[in-house]
């Protein structure tokens, strides 16, 4: 029973990341904030691994695999989204581009992993995308001419990063301990982000409660909690099924924004939530996969 609830826990925790980002973006440079987040997360995972005696990756190849996964899943994905939104890309456009990830993952699942994505999963993935699009519709009313190419390229890179990172983790992380593997991943994210931060930002991190709450939750709740769940789900299921869960994120974010920030929630968005939920249910339904 608990295992069936894990995808829902993942979606709920992951969705709070957008609320945390809304808190900190006005008070911190995006990459500076992420560097603090990565370093605090590494410290947390190292402490957890030491407390339970978790085994670390053995050999250069195992370390390299974890570092690459971290660069893709954390460094490029989070860095691209945070940078793009902080440089003026509307949140709805960013969410729409990132929403292409399940489609691309499904397309690449067979050639890169040998996983077959059947008609049922494709129907679910397409329905999920349509539902997410309906939820995001109020945020898509922007003038395309006002969108700068730099932030748009950054969010497309973020989408590619999480897609390839999910596939890389599935290919290389099956035998790795989740706790130490995650620690190495965030080391990789920090290694690629810190130089870019030093070259492009002033290191602004205002000493306000929004930054501290956002940093603690982003590090411990999101990076430790949600990423651990994501790595576990990738290990247990097909990448297409796991990727489809991201279509539930816009509906959950819309509900949280309605409750916390009094944002509007119209009938079309509610209909989109139902369509997205149906799509994810269809894409995720089926017998336990061989990889499980």
Mean pLDDT check: name the lowest of 56-65, 79-88, 174-183, 260-269.
260-269
What pLDDT shows up at residue 6?
87
Per-residue pLDDT reduced to its tens digit, 187-242: 999 999 999 999 999 999 999 999 999 999 999 999 999 999 998 888 887 788 88
What pLDDT shows up at residue 289?
42
Mean pLDDT check: name the lowest of 27-36, 143-152, 236-245.
143-152
Per-residue pLDDT reduced to its tens digit, 131-146: 988 888 877 766 556 6
- CA angle, residues 260, 266, 271, in degrees to nearest 5: 110
What pLDDT shows up at residue 1?
64
pTM: 0.87
Q: Is the pLDDT of residue 56 over 90?
A: yes
Q: Is the pLDDT of residue 39 over 80?
A: yes
As to burial, measured by CB atoms within 10 angstroms (0-12 exposed, 13-18 middle, 19+ buried), residue 178 is buried
Dist CA 162 CA 175 (whole Å): 20
Average pLDDT, the chain: 88
Per-residue pLDDT reduced to its tens digit, 252-283: 888 888 888 777 788 888 999 999 999 998 98
Per-residue pLDDT reduced to its tens digit, 111-135: 888 888 888 889 999 999 999 888 8
What pLDDT shows up at residue 54?
95
Residues forming beta bridges with residue 205, ordered by sequence position? 28
């Amino acid at each position: 029973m608990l295992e069936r609830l894990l995808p829902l826990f993942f979606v709920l925790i992951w969705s709070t990341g957008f609320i945390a980002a809304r808190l900190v973006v006005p008070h911190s440079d995006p990459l500076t904030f992420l560097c603090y987040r990565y370093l605090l997360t590494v410290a947390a995972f190292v402490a957890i691994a030491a407390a339970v005696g978790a085994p670390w990756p053995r050999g250069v190849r195992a370390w390299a695999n974890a570092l690459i996964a971290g660069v893709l899943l954390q460094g490029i994905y989070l860095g691209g989204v945070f940078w793009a939104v902080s440089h003026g890309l509307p949140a709805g456009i960013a969410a729409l581009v990132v929403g292409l990830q399940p489609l691309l993952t499904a397309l690449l699942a067979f050639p890169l992993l040998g996983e077959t994505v059947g008609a049922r999963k494709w129907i679910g993935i397409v329905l999920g995308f349509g539902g997410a699009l309906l939820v995001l519709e109020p945020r898509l009313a922007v003038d395309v001419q006002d969108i700068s190419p730099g932030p748009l390229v950054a969010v497309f890179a973020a989408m590619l990063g999480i897609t390839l990172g999910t596939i890389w983790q599935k290919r290389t992380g099956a035998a790795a301990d989740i706790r130490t593997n995650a620690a190495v991943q965030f080391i990789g994210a920090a290694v690629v982000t810190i130089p870019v931060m030093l070259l492009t930002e002033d290191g602004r991190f205002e000493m306000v409660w929004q930054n501290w709450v956002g940093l603690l939750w982003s590090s411990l709740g999101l990076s430790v909690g949600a990423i651990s769940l994501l790595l576990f789900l990738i290990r247990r299921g097909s990448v297409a099924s796991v990727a489809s869960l991201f279509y539930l994120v816009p509906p959950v974010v819309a509900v949280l924004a309605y409750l916390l920030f009094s944002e509007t929630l119209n009938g079309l968005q509610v209909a989109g939530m139902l369509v997205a939920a149906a799509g994810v249910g269809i894409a995720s339904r089926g017998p336990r996969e061989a990889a499980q």
